[in-house]
Structure 1
């Protein structure tokens, strides 16, 4: 999506093979350890059959792959690939709820020092921005939600668009992203930033509950759309 940040963003590689037995894994070991040694997560490995059957588990990830993929070698197996948007919608709601619960749990055990709270926010803001982008995409694909627009590509655009649609304050997200990207000193953050951040996420979750419940159901399998 053009938002790679050194020390924060991963370079994720998906390899799709015909077979993935022990022999294939052994053959991939040298290149996988080299790749991980560069600070990247190990490649995600799937067979073709697993890929075809994985949309019910990885709908969000597959929508992003379809939109932003870069083919390093071999055929483009995602050309014409479809993601059931009802499954995408369900995963978006489940993931947003789960991340909100995890944020609360982590905050309970975090030190009351400001730097601990800052670390919690900078570690989670990218995930929430991604989920906000997928909320917009789910609303767009449902066809029954007034005000929903095509999902934007960047984190800031996604946050701003969803904030305007749902009526929450986008400023704490922008402030946290500024710190995360080195554009602002952590000491400049207001002490109320976390409470504002949490309130905005709760507002987004409430709106997702209402709109996903009342929106028109998507039409079965639809092509994964650009996000």
Structure 2
């Protein structure tokens, strides 16, 4: 005997109600479990607070001063950007978001690299870097600056450029520096350096390249006079 449409409708409604009831039971159980976990965490927090107060009281009774919590000073991506040297500070203002400029940059060639900043670790390394960069100064459009940083400066050795389109040009300029170091028989500076692309900001403009050199070995000690 064929099933009547009314019975089919009633059967479908019952199945829907059963499914809704099941989902409701699961939701209530999940809410109860969440409430129990939250209450346990709150009780644990209260116990920890009481323990801290108890420990501070014991330390105070023994004459031990509890040190204050250290102050965290926010810094700007420390260790990522090279050290600032004060170039072009007047052009460090943020131009803001310009969709037309971003769209045009996708199809425009990268800006010419006009500034090379070489960070040398110590005066002795800076003198050697000055000699090596003489060949790069032949390009009239390239300004080369040798900046002295501390021997134990935390910045990693490598080079940084500030426009993703400068990858090939930056690598080519660094390779020329490596070739100069190879001819000068400075193996520490002739090895390939790791490049990093960073967003342009402040004095780190799209036409600038920074090279952080690894330290050179100390100068050999003078030979002792023979008796």
Q: TM-score, normalised by structure 2?
A: 0.22
Structure having greater relative contact order (Cα 8 Å, sep ≥ 6): 1
Hey, which of these two has a bigger chunk of strand by percent?
Answer: 2
Q: TM-score, normalised by structure 1?
A: 0.22
